[in-house]
Structures are given as structure tokens and as C-alpha cells.
Amino acid sequence: EPEVTQTPSHQVTQMGQEVILRCVPISNHLYFYWYRQILGQKVEFLVSFYNNEISEKSEIFDDQFSVERPDGSNFTLKIRSTKLEDSAMYFCASSVDRVGNTIYFGEGSWLTVV
Amino acid sequence: QKEVEQNSGPLSVPEGAIASLNCTYSDRGSQSFFWYRQYSGKSPELIMSIYSNGDKEDGRFTAQLNKASQYVSLLIRDSQPSDSATYLCAVPNAGGTSYGKLTFGQGTILTVHP
């Protein structure tokens, strides 16, 4: 079964450092997303991406965050200067269409900022 | 602010019993509703989607939707210890501008004991 893959599975970084989380969406999917989940809290939407541009973003997705699809397969989330409160599980997801019923999540990248 | 509310539990049921999980949502325009299962430290996994009022059955799972009451539920029949997980209710943003932005509830922790 096709799946969304994410790397790294776990990263520890110093506060203020830049972090790049990588994702390979399912190959025929056109819509890509990042969600995050702080330990013990809700899964929260960060950003959606379609046709090489951001379609929608949440209030969380401020100037410290950026997304990119540098080639035909990877989809990345960059956090420019990490803060302690950025510690969370970050999930990449993809879907064939925009309706939302076929959103598949990757296994997540656990980011710890110290 | 679109809200999705769930009782966080924990809900504990004996093996073989029916587990009933509930969710309410605030946006009357919502058309689609999803139940995800999330094992500890893992990503959300879609288990049911429902779009019309009434019941939808898939194996041991039944989703129930009442749009007038803004209420969606998930029944798990013949509960098994492997069903022990957090169950997340998710609602896509209503409206034509939505690009797969799911609003999640805080999840209900289900424990099935032998």
C-alpha cells in the first residue's frame, strides 16, 4: 500500500537553530499538508500546498515556517529559528483531491527543541 | 472559530462490548466527517468517513451522523484490546476555499480490557 514517508523520525535541536523536516507524499497525490501535534494536545493544521504554492495556512504558520517542493517527490517544512514551543510531532499528509476524504498521514517527525 | 468537541475519556469497555464515541461540531455548513484512530506515538489513521445523515457501517465500525444536532458518533462492536487507542473526530473546513484543512477534536482515549 502506498504511504507517506517522513524523515527524520526524531530530531533534537538547539533553540534558535534551523530545522528541515522532509516528506515524500504518495506519488499520484496533488495536495500536500503539514500538521503538528504538541504532546497531549490536538492535531493542528499548519499549511496546505497545491500546484507549487501555499493554498491555505493557519495562524501557527508564521514567518518562521516555510514549505517547499524542491523536486518532483519531496515536500519539506522548514522552521527557521526554532523555539521551545515548536517541540511537537509534525505530520506530513497528502491527498488526491481537495475534498479531504483521502488524506493520508505519514508516521511523523518528532521534534524536540532544547 | 470552528470547533470540534469530544469527551476526552478515558472510556473503558470490556472485550466484546460496544464502545460508543461521540463528537459535536460547531460549523453547520460542514458536509464531511471523519474518524481517525491514533495509537500512542503514531499518526492518525482514517477508519471511517460519513457524509449523509444516518448510519454507515464498515465491519465492526458504524458511524452515525445527525446534522440537525451537529453530532457524529462512532460505534465499535465486539471491541478488542487492539482497538485501544485515541479516536479523533475530524471535520474539513466548509466552503469552497478549503484545501484539506481538517479541524480535529481532542480525541477520546479508548481502553478495551480483556
Question: pLDDT tens, B59-94?
Answer: 999 999 999 999 999 999 999 999 999 999 999 875
pLDDT at A32: 93
Q: pLDDT at residue A83 above 90?
A: yes
Burial (CB count <10 Å: 0-12, 13-18, 19+), residue B52: exposed
Q: Which residue has the higher pLDDT, B3 or A100?
A: B3
What's the DSSP call for residue B79?
Answer: -
Nearest by CB to B99, which of A42, A50, A108?
A50
Short-list A54, A106, A30, A57, CA closest to B42: A106
Torsion angle, alpha carbons of A72, A107, A33, A96, to 10: 70
- The C-alpha cell of B86 is what? 485515541
pLDDT at A97: 79
Q: Which residues of A touch B (CB under 8 A)?
A: 31, 33, 35, 41-45, 48, 50, 55-56, 58, 91, 93, 95, 98-101, 103-108
- List pLDDT tens digits, range A2-55: 799 999 999 999 999 999 999 999 998 989 999 999 999 999 999 999 989 999
Q: Which range, A7-11, A72-76, B5-9, B45-49, has the best average confidence (pLDDT)?
A: A7-11
Band of the pLDDT at A99, cuts 50, 70, 90?
Answer: low
Mean pLDDT of A96-110: 83
Contact present, A103 and B102 (Cβ < 8 Å): yes
Count CB-CB contacts under 10 A for residue B41.
10
Let me know the angle formed at the C-alpha of B45 by B40 and B50, rounded to the nearest 5 degrees: 130
Q: pLDDT at residue B20 above 80?
A: yes
Q: How far apart are CA A43 and CA A48, in angstroms?
A: 15
Mean pLDDT of B101-110: 93
